[in-house]
Amino acid sequence: MSIKNEKQLLDNAKTPELRRARQILIELVNKAIESADPSSKMRSRVRIDGECLKIGTYELDLSEVGKIIVVGGGKASGNMAEVFEEIFGDRITSGVVNVPEGTASVYRTRKIKLVEAGHPLPTRAGVKGAEEMINLVSDLEPQDLVVCLLSGGGSALITLPAEGISLDELRETTQLLLKSGAMIQEVNAVRKHLSRIKGGQLAKAAHPARVITLLISDVVGDRLDTIASGPTYPDPMTFSDALAVIEKYGLIEKAPKNILKHLKKGAEEKVPETPKPGGKYFLNTFYEIIASNADAIRAAMEVGKSHGFNVSILTTTMQGEAREVGAHLATIAKGVIEASKPVSRPALLISGGETTVTVKGEGIGGRNQELVLSAAIGISGLGNATVASFSTDGIDGPTDAAGAVADSFTLEKARHLKLDPVLHLERNDSHSFFKEIGDLLITGPTRTNVMDIACLILT
């Protein structure tokens, strides 16, 4: 994987020092994404030795296993399915995995059917694939094995609306939540209670078979109940929690009436709750995270150290409004320059996690681009400061960019082009701003997803 507009990004640097900083950031982006490659991670963590399946420290005698069913979905699930079939071959009985639209032909699988589904809004194809998954895992025996392959994006790609809820109602609700500024845990609390497969319900359908879930984490804290909305993991959230999210973000008057009716019926115990921790459906389950944001952070650190930088990890739980996180990053930059805190120059500061954007304007943008635009305002004229933020899946919001880069002279260039950074920020129009500047980070879809990395270089 490589940044497609590397030359443009380098040519936009005003000084040799800033060009070098951009070159290092480009290397960092490439290495961070490469570190979470699903294919290499699967091969290193999953293997068969004779009749023994080994996943990390977990072992299973395959000679005692009956059917092997593979299900799942996510932005990295195509890679995961391809490698899993490469390892298991004809041992696999059958499988269905939902992958992003336009990607099925990229992978080679015979036993595992790849269904192209929509993201970030669910589609009918995703529903069809989810129905096939439920059918495949139903009526299994205790000796049978279900392997679930999950990664970021799975919440949208694996969709099966609850009884009485239409796909259009679900799409509308999803769109409202994604624009509200709600954290992914909150969004998924609602999604799980509008579904027949999320929140442990896939594991319920598979019971009493053994269930192994392999995951690439795209959530802060690697919460198993949140990754892809936890179809095989017990759900600690309730219908009341889901209603509270709707209320918190002012969506009571905006959400479809049928959605609110369903959630209220659940809160009144007129609709069955999702399976909870301690339930019998999870007595024969195993979970293994094979890649996460920590891998990307380590790769970023190694790049910085190899170039002689003093590296500081600001946080591994970056959350909150993107513009506020960007402004805070600029404040930290001033601290490094003025007081050598938290480290002295040359410095590389790294944050990992995933911010949110409360969309109020009519512009086009993404959380990483908005973060960088906010930071650019704060570091303007601050000497040799360069900032970048990117999504490891290569898609930042509804745009073709993974993120953006800015430096001390970004606002000066904006003035020459008659661009108002504050107005663009207010309109949630960061993509248009950086497209004009020429500082978008373009990688294309990376086929993995371990959240975001924000980096600040000070020389």
Question: For residue range 122-151, what is the model confidence (pLDDT) as tens digits?
Answer: 999 999 999 999 999 999 999 999 999 999
CB contact burial 347-384 (16+ within 10 A = b; e otherwise): bbbbbbbbbbbebeeebbbbbbbbbbbbbbbbbbebeb
pLDDT of residue 17: 97
pLDDT of residue 97: 98
243 neighbors 176 (Cβ within 8 angstroms): no
Per DSSP (E only), the strands in 101-151 are 112-117, 145-151
CB hemisphere CA count around 399 (13 angstroms)? 28
Mean pLDDT calculated for residue range 182-198: 97
Percent share of the chain, pLDDT over 90? 99
Question: For residue range 155-183, what is the model confidence (pLDDT) as tens digits?
Answer: 999 999 999 999 999 999 999 999 999 99
Question: For residue range 217-268, what is the model confidence (pLDDT) as tens digits?
Answer: 999 999 999 999 999 999 999 999 999 999 999 999 999 999 999 999 999 9
pLDDT confidence bin for 33, thresholds 50/70/90: very high
pLDDT of residue 1: 54
Largest CA distance in the chain: 70
Q: Is residue 257 classed exposed, middle or buried when 0-12, 13-18 and 19+ CB atoms within 10 A define those classes?
A: exposed
Q: Is residue 332 classed exposed, middle or buried when 0-12, 13-18 and 19+ CB atoms within 10 A define those classes?
A: buried
pLDDT confidence bin for 373, thresholds 50/70/90: very high
The answer, yes or no, to whether residue 416 has pLDDT greater than 80, is yes
Structure-token pair, residue 161 = 């609306």
Instruction: Report the C-alpha dihedral over residues 134, 138, 142, 143, rounded to 10 degrees.
Output: -80
State which amino acid sits at residue 358: T
The C-alpha atoms of residue 321 and residue 193 are separated, in whole angstroms, by: 25
Question: For residue range 355-364, what is the model confidence (pLDDT) as tens digits?
Answer: 999 999 999 9
The answer, yes or no, to whether residue 376 has pLDDT greater than 60, is yes
Distances (CA, A) of 96 to 123, 330, 362, 435, 452: 16, 46, 38, 39, 28
pLDDT of residue 308: 98
Question: For residue range 291-330, what is the model confidence (pLDDT) as tens digits?
Answer: 999 999 999 999 999 999 999 999 999 999 999 999 999 9
Question: For residue range 428-448, what is the model confidence (pLDDT) as tens digits?
Answer: 999 999 999 999 999 999 999
Structure-token pair, residue 98 = 């939902």
pLDDT of residue 383: 83
pLDDT of residue 130: 98
pLDDT confidence bin for 11, thresholds 50/70/90: very high
pLDDT confidence bin for 45, thresholds 50/70/90: very high
The answer, yes or no, to whether residue 2 has pLDDT greater than 90, is no
Domains and CATH numbers, the chain: 6-36+294-458 (3.40.1480.10), 38-160+195-237+274-291 (3.40.50.10180)
452 neighbors 36 (Cβ within 8 angstroms): no
